[in-house]
């Protein structure tokens, strides 16, 4: 994830996209698409592990814990679906 952040920052500093077309072309290249997808999967997996650990430390009643953790799963899969739509199902 650190490598991706550095990759994105380097691109934005070295060759800032001054137009929609430039940004769109860069994001549409297969390599950037794949790398971004891998980053998002890693990010969402990390968010799951991290927030789960925090929830398990502070939320003890089992029913409430199940409720919070299932909301978390819903939240993160929803975000994943949103990114999938942007990265893979975009028109044009």
Partner 1 sequence: MFLDLVRIQMPVGALTSITHRVTGILLALGIPFGIYILDQSLQGPESYTRLISLFDQWAFQASSIVLIWALAHHLLAGIRHLLSDIDVGSLLPAARRSAWIVNVGGLLVALLAAGALL
Q: In the complex with partner 1, which residue's Cβ is closer, 61 or 92?
A: 92
* Separation CA 50–CA 44 (nearest Å): 10
Minimum Å gap between C-beta 61 and partner 1 is 20
Q: In the complex with partner 1, which residue's Cβ is closer, 35 or 43?
A: 43
Q: In the complex with partner 1, which residue's Cβ is closer, 64 or 82?
A: 82
* Separation CA 49–CA 55 (nearest Å): 10
Distances (CA, A) of 21 to 10, 30, 49, 85, 90: 19, 16, 37, 20, 15
- Write out the residues near partner 1 by the rule CB under 8 A: 2, 5, 20-21, 23-24, 27, 43-44, 47, 50-51, 54, 79, 82-83, 86, 90, 92
């Amino acid at each position: 994830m650190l490598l991706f952040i550095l990759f994105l920052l380097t691109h934005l500093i070295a060759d800032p996209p001054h137009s929609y077309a430039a940004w769109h072309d860069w994001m549409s290249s297969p390599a950037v698409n794949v790398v971004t997808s891998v980053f998002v999967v890693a990010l969402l997996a990390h968010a799951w592990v991290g927030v789960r650990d925090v929830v398990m430390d502070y939320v003890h009643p089992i029913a409430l814990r199940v409720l919070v953790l299932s909301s978390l799963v819903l939240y993160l899969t929803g975000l994943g679906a949103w990114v999938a739509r942007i990265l893979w199902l975009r028109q044009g």
